[in-house]
Structure 1
Amino acid sequence: MKKWIRTLLGGFILLLLIAKWSPAQYYGEIEEKFDQLTLHTNPLFNYEIFNFPTPDSNSSRLDIFISVSNALLQFVKQEEGGYVAQFELNITIYEHKKEDVTLYQSFEQRIEEDSYQKTVSRGIRHYYFYSVSLKPRRYKMLLELVDLDTRKSLQWKSQIKLKTFRKANFNFSDIVFYQIDTTDVTPRITLLNVSPEFFQKTPYAHYPQLVTPSLVNQRKLYIIGCYFGIYHEVFVTVPLDSLLLTYEIINSSNRVVYKREIRKKVIERLVVGEFKINKIAFAPGEHLLRITVSGHGKPCRIQKEFFFSPVLTVQNIDDYVDLAIRPLRYVANSKEYRQMLEASEKDKKVLLEAFWAKRDPTPQTPENELREEFYRRVNFANHHFFNPFSNRQGWETDRGRIFIIYGPPDDVERPPVKKRQPLYEIWTYQREDFVRRVIFVFKPEWGEFQLVTME
């Protein structure tokens, strides 16, 4: 154990060695592995339900946005080459109490892939959109995926409450959170029952990267990144030409960290509310989005909880200097680390820049490969190892610490759980100068894995 700890002093050497490999490909492989093992993110089948007003006073619009991972599908190898998966997506909506079928729709789908690796990839996802107008009331919904070759099926059930948008002066739709994808890679969306013209009028046409709740806490969204936006609608029942929308983001200390006011025109009794945050300067952690509409009588309000974790880049480190410094406790000496923590905001930036300048392996180039690799690891840890129970950032966990110091393991294994035995995870590092196994045990009371031994 002591020998392993002493190798921390050479952590930056390991970082540099790994940075000279092919990080994009290597990270892709290890990310796929961690995605397969994750406890609470990136499900193989996911769906989001949104409720919007309609021009018809007797109906309410239900939008269903579905994503299916290749890893869930059964692919069959074709004689002429390639692989094909064929399945049905069935949507059944029942009356809440009577169990009468209000709606049933079935859609056959076919997916083709040119390699086996793609057929088992958790990251390759297919998106489907369905929309229907129903009477405002409670329903039960059954989503079913049926493999057409094996006839095996999987089912997901949900309770739905469609609102009437005529009760108050201002009536809010659901809030759609979306991630702004800076890579310009837009997923292809299959329209199950609507026309392209209808779809273009929805928020999903332009912002398909929906932010989805963590499975362990359906009330809270987990936003990873520095660019996101929200979309909603307000149905107005009183005669108005315009109204005022106020957007506030409130942190866990009940302090407003972001505020924006927008005056919007009322067009055919409807107001479309939307705003984007392209640069976020508030700290990571729990937040509350609060939207207030005013313009006639008592203001109306809606709110939504979310957890924010920024992705650190060279361009935004100055905006998150504290977050950029704190993970350095794993690799910096105590004197340097303490100086950065205790410095003024201005001096922190200077000290952080000097810290990385001293460790730049190629000072003659604009890039600092060591710094980029370090924050790549921090971002990876935050994405895969965050604890939604305690809201601990991924880098703060035991798995995050080991990942940041030693990089991606060469192998990750989670043996099947046996009766009366805890869930555990084994990481294997195979380097030229050492081979190590790191063992973590899942602690339910903590909601995360704890380091128990290094061999």
Structure 2
Amino acid sequence: MMLLLLLTLDVNFQILRDDSLNPVVRVVYTVNYNELTFISMDSAYISKYRVSLVVFNGKRQVGGVSKVRKFSVDKYETTISAEKTDTGEIQFAFKEKGKFRAIFELWDLNSLRHWSKEKKFDVKDVKNLTLGQINWNRSVSKIFSIDDTISLSLNIFNPRGDSVVLLFTVKNPSGSEFIKEEEFIGKSRFFTYNIDIPASRFSEGEYFADLMIKGYPSGKKSKKSIDFKVQKPFFESRRFIERAREMAYIAKKSFIDSLIKADPDERKKLWERFWNEKDPTPGTEKNEFLEEYYRRVDFANQHFRSPFSPGWRTDRGRVYIKLGPPDSIERHPFDIDSKAYEVWYYYTLGYRLIFVDEYNLGDYTLVNPPREDL
């Protein structure tokens, strides 16, 4: 039996239309170099992979397309870089309507590692002016550095051939407007309109964009909203301060305070020195200790947040970060004769930890810590 190792990569499915309003499935993907296998050949390192896109209607295959991508780099260090990426796209057009499923696959031909993702979508007749899918042009993420350009494309379905006007508004969570623009954008039956905004127009934070199109003379309207986030470079950002504070279980408070107060260059030096000292495999691209620590932090923030604290600062979050996932969990959320509680078992450590939700607010307290520092 062949063992298939899964790749991780970013993928963006886009459901478009051609000039005749027939559907086109377009996939934009990005894969990190360190996820691919490179073969040394004639003083270069060669990567070779195949991508495919297949569309199904139920169990029936409508059709598909595939292609092979081959490229080379000069240095071995580049082949294991988590920063370097290869980006490509593949698309398939067809002439049916109904419910469909598109499957995108990437096969690393040097290792047979494999990645697959699918998207379900409907294709219907378009009778009125419609704002279709909104796509990020330069990223599959909605997080942008303050030095980036926020670039998105709008798919406009305009079967009546109206003159189309776009009203574009960007607000922050409190409702303050940063951008409000209105302009004529076209009158074809189907067209794509691109919007490019320097991220430097925004301060660091979350934003919401409202987009509405209106057709003349029909008066038909269609609107959608999207959200995005703008961040400063890591060592200048709020995210860095959050990450520094989350080091509380492995670093002294005095060090964390000095890290936060330092300028960006000094922050970088202190950060790298701290994590390099804990790296179990120095000299390699990855720092497994750092990655595992923040994996636990992120899990805690996602699953153990309380009304009073982020997940990493709760008792369950602290235990999870320090000890890792328990071997077993007993959950008792609705026992008649007791408050909600959980029992976590760490068999190899001999720990049976009880967390009680004292006030029925989702804030679980550890009532039997086995040692002082836990």
TM, length-normalised to structure 2: 0.62
| Cα separation, partners in 2 of 1:118 and 1:398, compared to 1, 3 Å | same
1:22 equivalent in structure 2: none
Q: Which has the higher helix share?
A: 1
Change over 3 Å in CA distance of 1:92–1:246 after alignment to 2 = same
* Partner secondary structure for residue 101 of structure 1: strand
Q: From 70, 75, 86, give the equivalent of 1:115.
A: 75
Distance in 1 (CA, whole Å) between partners of 2:60 and 2:191 is 35
1:257 aligns with 2:178: yes
Shift in Å, 1:251: 1.6
**8 Å CA contact 1:233, 1:271 repeated in 2:** yes
1:315 aligns with none
Residue of structure 1 in register with 2:31 after alignment: 68
The number of aligned residues is 274
* Structure 2 CA distance for partners of 1:402 and 1:67, relative to 1, 3 Å: farther
Q: 1:85 to 1:250 in 2, by over 3 A?
A: same
> Is structure 2 residue 329 aligned with structure 1 residue 409?
no
The residue that corresponds to 2:136 in the other structure is 177
Distance 1:439 1:102 in 2: 43
- Consecutive unaligned residues of structure 2, counting only runs of 5 or more, are 1-6, 248-255, 282-287, 303-310, 323-374
Higher strand fraction: Structure 1 or Structure 2?
Answer: 2
2:208 aligned partner: 288
Cα separation, 2, equivalents of 1:125 and 1:440: 22
RMSD across aligned C-alpha pairs, in angstroms?
3.5
Distance 2:161 2:235 in 1: 54
CA distance in 2, matches of 1:140, 1:165: 18
1:398 correspondence with 2:360: no
1:27 match: none
Alpha-carbon offset, residue 396 of structure 1: 7.2
- In structure 1, runs of 5+ residues without a counterpart are 1-42, 179-209, 214-220, 312-375, 386-392, 417-423, 428-437
Q: 1:426 to 1:90 in 2, by over 3 A?
A: closer
Residue 92, structure 1, aligned to residue 51, structure 2 = no
Q: Distance in 2 between matches of 1:271 and 1:86?
A: 34
| CA distance, structure 2, for counterparts of residue 289 and residue 61 of structure 1 | 25
1:69-103 superposed Cα distances (whole Å, 9 cap, x missing partner) = 2111112223x3222222322333222xx322222
Distance 1:232 1:402, change over 3 A: farther
Whether the 8 Å CA contact 1:60–1:162 is kept in 2: the answer is: no
CA offset digits 1:251-309 (Å, max 9, x no partner): 2123333211112331x324543332236444433322111112333422111122222
Identify the match of residue 12 of structure 2 among 20, 39, 48: 48
Does the 8 A contact of 1:87 with 1:148 survive in 2? yes
**CA offset at residue 106 of structure 1?**
3.0
Residue 234 of structure 1, aligned match among 149, 156, 164: 156
Identify the residue that residue 274 of structure 1 maps to in structure 2. 194
Residue 301 of structure 1: aligned partner: 223
Q: In the superposition, relative to structure 1, how do residues 123 and 440 fare at CA in structure 2: closer, same or farther (>3 Å)? A: closer
Q: Output the CA distance in 1 between the equivalents of 2:83 and 2:164.
A: 42
Taking a change above 3 Å as real, the CA distance of residues 255 and 299 of structure 1, as seen in their structure-2 partners, is farther
TM-score normalised by length of structure 1:
0.52
1:128–1:426 Cα change, 3 Å: closer
Amino-acid identity (%) = 12
The one-letter code sitting in structure 1 at the alignment partner of 2:53 is: I
Alpha carbons 1:425, 1:440 under 8 Å: kept? no
- Cα deviation per residue 1:188-214 (whole Å; 9 max; x = unaligned)? xxxxxxxxxxxxxxxxxxxxxx2223x
